[in-house]
Structure 1
């Protein structure tokens, strides 16, 4: 995971992700996991993409 995870910006990122991927629910986008990897993995599985692909998408939002 290259990008620094910024919880302060997460609200903005979550809105953009939800707009791009409407199958993500508000519950999916709430930080409640121990690690960034756990959090990303759950979203990646739901979207049917790899965690690396998800990280690249988030970096480009």
Structure 2
């Protein structure tokens, strides 16, 4: 499953993620990785989800 989203929509996605997972900080959601895969891998570990689960959840936002 490919999770494609426009980086310009990231602010909206961040707000949705923070509402769903209040333990996330602004630093956790700052796009500072070279690839989406790296970012998703780190975020998935933080949320204790598989990368596939995270991609599916973000795609549903």
Q: TM-score, normalised by structure 2?
A: 0.93
Distance 1:2 1:14 in 2: 19
5+ long unaligned stretches in structure 1: none
> How many residues align structurally?
61
Q: Over the residues paired in the alignment, what is the CA RMSD in angstroms?
A: 1.0
**Is the CA contact 1:5–1:36 (under 8 Å) kept in the aligned structure 2?**
no
C-alpha separation in 2, matches of 1:25 and 1:41: 16
Runs of 4+ in 1 over 3 A off after TM superposition: none
| 1:23 maps to 2:23 | yes
Higher relative contact order (CA 8 A, sep 6+): 2
Secondary structure, aligned partner of 1:4? coil
